Amino acid sequence: MSASVPPAEGPSGPEHPSGASVVVAPGEVSGSGSGEKGLRGNALGLFSSVAIGLASTAPAYSLAATLGLIVVGVGLQAPIITILAFIPMLLIAYAYKEMNAVDPDCGTTFTWAARAFGPRTGWMGGWGIIVADIIVMANLAQIAGSYGFQLVGHPSLASSDLWTTVAGVVWIVLMTFICYIGIEISAALQRVLLCVEVAMLVLLSVTALVKVYGSHPPATAIHISGSWFNPFQVPTASALTAGILSAVFIYWGWDTAVSVNEETADKTRTPGRAAVLSTVILLLIYALVSTSTQAFAGVGDKGIGLANPDNSGDVLSGLGGAIFGTTGFGWFLSKVLIFMVLTSAAASTQTTILPTARTSFSMALHKAIPSQFGRVHPRFATPTWSTVAMGLVSIAFYVLMTRISTNVLADSISSVGLGIAFYYGLTGFACVWYFRKVLRRSARDLWFKGILPLLGGLMLLYFFCYAAFDVYAAPDYGSTTVTMPWGKVGGVSVIGIGSLLLGFVLMLIQWAVQGSWFRHPDVPVSAATEAEVAALEVRNDPAA
C-alpha cells in the first residue's frame, strides 16, 4: 500500500526515539510524517526549499572548479555541454518529485529504492548518498579554508596544506553546529548567501558581455556564435561524453530540497517543485556564466583563457580582476567575488550535512543502521547523532586524506561522480518500477512517472559505466595509479567503485549484527495502484 494514502487506523509501529509508539498503516513507512519522527514540520516554504536546493550545488564554487576542465575537453562548445548536462538532472528531478508525492520520507533514495526493489537495494541507495556527501565535504572544506585566507590577504597560508586543513575543519565544525541548532536558521543563512551568490554571478556575466561588445574589448574577447551551442561540433563522441560527465557535477545537490521534505510545508508537493525549479534556475545561471566568461576570456591556454592550466581549478578568481578591474570599486567587486566563492563552498558544506544527516536518521528509524542515529533534539527538533556524526566523519576523512596525500584527496573528490550517478540513477529506476501499474492511466503518468525517469536513469547508468570502466580507469587519469592483478588502473575509478563496495560490506555487517531491516523491513516491496494514486491526487488537491 502506498505510504501516502493511510487508512483510518493501523497497527502499532516501531517505537519513536522519544519513547512514544508510532501508529502506522499496514505497509506504510513507519514514521514517514514529520510529527512522527520528531522533526520540525512546516518550517520551510517554497523559497527556502529552492534556496537550500540551489545552495547545495554551490553554483559559484562549481563553476570555478569545473568550467576550465570542460573547456579543456570541448573548447568553444562548453556552453552547450553545460546545457546538455542539465537534461539527466531534470529527468531525475521529476523522479524525485513523483516519489516524494507518494512517500515524503527524508530517507529519499534509501526508502524509495527499498519500496521498489527491496531492503538491500534501498540500503545501498542510502549509502550512495552518504559516501558521496562525505567525500565531497573534504573538497568543500579545503576550498572554504583556502578562499578564507585569500580573502583576508594571506596567500601563503592559502597554499599551506596544514593551515587550509585547520581552516577547513573549523568550517565543518561551524556548519555542523548551524545544522544542529535548527533547520530554520540553516534556511535563513542559505537565503542570504544564495542571494549574494546569484547577484554576483549575474553582475560578473553582464559586465563581461558589456566589455566584450564595448568599444574597447579585451584582446581575448570573441563574439558569441551559434556554433557554441552545436554539440555536433565537439571533436569526438568521447570528448562529448566526458564533457557532459564533468558538467553533471555542477548540477549535483538540488536533491537536498527533497531531503528536508518532512520539515517543509505541504511536504508532498513543495519539495518536488523546489527540486525541479532548482535545476531550471541552475541551467539559466550556468548557461549565462559559461557563455559570457567564454566570450570575455576565450578558450586559450594563456593569460585569462579558460583553458589555461593555471586557472583550471579556479576560473573565477582570475576572471574577477580581469572583468571588474584591480583598482577602486572594481577591486572591491573582485574581492566580493572571492568572498562569494568562499560562501558558496561554505553554504554547500552546510547543505551537504543536511541530506546525509537525514538519510542516516531515516535509516536508523527503519533499523537499517544503529538506532542511536535516530535521536532528535528535544528543543531544536533536528537529528542529533546523525548531524554530529556527519561532521565528525567528514573531518576524519578530510584529515586522513590530507595526511596520506593531496593526490589521493584530489582523486577521491573526482570519484564522487560515480556515487552521484549511482544514487540518482537508482532513484530514476525506482520511480519507474514503483509506478509501473499506473503508467497507462494517463499521458502525464506515462511521461512523468515512466519515460522521463527511465531516460534519466539510463543516461546516468551509461555515464557511470563509461566513467568507471573507461575514463576514470585509464592509468593516466587523475593523480594516482593502482596496480591490480590485470594491470594498472586509475585511482579515481578504484576509489569510486571501492567506496560503493565498502557500503556493500558494511551492509553485510549490519545484516549480521542488527538484521531486522533486512529480515522484516517495515517498507514492503510494492507498486502503486491506480486507486492509491487517485486518492493521493484528491488529498493533495488544494480545491478538494
- Cell numbers at residue 69, please? 576542465
The reported pLDDT for the residue numbered 186 is 65
> Which segments of 416-529 does DSSP mark as H helices, in order?
416-434, 443-444, 452-466, 491-513, 516-519
pLDDT for 541 equals 65
Q: Residue 544: its pLDDT value, please? A: 45
Contact 165, 399 (CB under 8 A): yes
| 151-159 long-range Cβ contacts below 8 angstroms, 24+ apart | 151/335, 151/338, 151/339, 151/342
**In contact, 52 and 190? CB cutoff 8 Å:** yes
- Rounded-to-integer distance, Cα 335 and Cα 327, Å: 11
User: CA-CA distances (angstroms) from residue 400 to 130, 169, 292, 397?
Assistant: 18, 12, 39, 5
pTM, two decimal places: 0.86
The answer to whether residues 293 and 306 touch, using CB atoms and an 8 Å cutoff, is yes
For Cα atoms 132, 272, 91, give the angle at the middle one, nearest 5 degrees: 65
What is the per-residue pLDDT for 338?
Answer: 79
- 539/544 Cα distance (integer angstroms): 7
What is the structure's pLDDT at 30?
37
Assess contact for 74 and 240: CB atoms under 8 A.
yes
Nearest to 130 by CA among 398, 500, 460, 412: 500
What are the percentages of helix, strand and coil residues in the chain, rounded to 5?
A: 70, 5, 25
pLDDT of residue 60: 87
Are 255 and 99 spatial neighbours (Cβ–Cβ below 8 Å)?
no
- For 407-436, b where at least 16 C-beta lie within 10 A, e where not — what string? ebbbbbbbbbbbbbbbbbbbbbbbbbbbbe
At residue 163, the pLDDT reads 86
130 in Cβ contact with 356 (< 8 Å): yes
Q: Where are the alpha helices (DSSP H) in 435-483?
A: 443-444, 452-466
Which residues in the chain land under pLDDT 70?
1-36, 38, 183, 185-187, 311-313, 350, 540-544
